[in-house]
A = this chain, B = another copy of it.
Amino acid sequence: MSQSLKTILSLRELILGGELKSGERLSELSIVDRLGVSRTPVRMALVRLEEEGLLEAIPSGGYAVRHFSEADIFDAIETRGTLEGLAARLAAERGPSPGQIGEIKGCLRKLDVLVQHEAGADTFSAYVELNERFHQLLIHMAGSRVVARQIERAVALPFASPSAFVEVQAVLPESRAILLVAQEQHRSVVEAIERREGARAEALMREHSRVAHRNLVMALGHQNARDLVPGMALIRQSA
């Protein structure tokens, strides 16, 4: 593994874990001391994490840990939903190959099995994996590098990911119900795409992203749930 990649991963973990407080200026040398790599890979990592949205450039030079308001997270989720809606519409309009449809239907079936059974400890991690896979397949069906890239950037923010709040669901009583609704949306989107119903596919995918929004509100409510969301330490009252 390259030093740059190692630095990126370490820094991201430190930021999301809340060990680097938001608003705090990150000096390159302090990171050098902390991680034991030279300044060059540190600088690389800082640039990439700024593009990723976790850091913000200070006008006079250097970087600071970015902080987010609840509204920012709401908007990030809405943005992802809008872009995934675009992907779903394009997939429907362009008509994916039978192979792609078969693949995503297979993914649906596996998700069905998980959702039907009662939730266990490792069931959720399997669900996260399959859920991510479903979203990946859907993006792939749109058949556009440009759209895929844009979505990649949108989900780079930790709480914008389709699976950001799944861990939270695990501790909530409504979790089964939410999962069932989400899975129904998955199924409906695939159906819409298969029938070339672009507008329906788009609307469904947008609405699907809003389960994350509901989960956000719940996560902010229950203090014990906050710790389960990656990057929750970055949230401040002020924008």
Contact = CB atoms under 8 A, between A and B. Distances in A.
A72 B146 contact: yes
A239 B156 CA distance: 25
Interface string A193-212: 00000000000000000000
Interface string A74-113: 0110110011011000100000000000000000000000
A152 to B, nearest CB: 11
A126 interface: no
Q: Looking at A51, A85, A86, A90, which has the most chain B CB atoms within 10 Å of its CB?
A: A86
A82 B149 CA distance: 15
Chain A binding surface, main DSSP class: helix
Interface string A43-81: 110011001010000000000000000011001101100
A76 B153 contact: no
A98 B113 CA distance: 53
Contact of A75 (B48, B78, B144): B144
A154 interface: yes
A146 B79 contact: yes
A159 to B, nearest CB: 11
Contacts of A157: 146
Given A44-B47, A82-B86, A76 B146 contact: yes
A200 to B, nearest CB: 15
A153 B51 CA distance: 10
A10 interface: no
A43 B86 CA distance: 34
Interface of A: 43-44, 47-48, 51, 53, 71-72, 75-76, 78-79, 82-83, 85-86, 90, 144-147, 149-150, 153-154, 157, 239
Given A78-B90, A82-B86, 14 more contacts: A47-B47, A51-B51, A53-B149, A71-B144, A75-B145, A75-B146, A78-B86, A78-B147, A82-B82, A82-B83, A83-B83, A146-B157, A150-B150, A153-B153
24 contacts: A43-B44, A44-B47, A47-B47, A47-B48, A48-B51, A51-B51, A53-B149, A72-B144, A75-B90, A75-B144, A75-B146, A75-B147, A76-B146, A78-B147, A79-B83, A79-B146, A79-B147, A79-B150, A82-B82, A82-B83, A82-B85, A83-B83, A150-B154, A153-B153
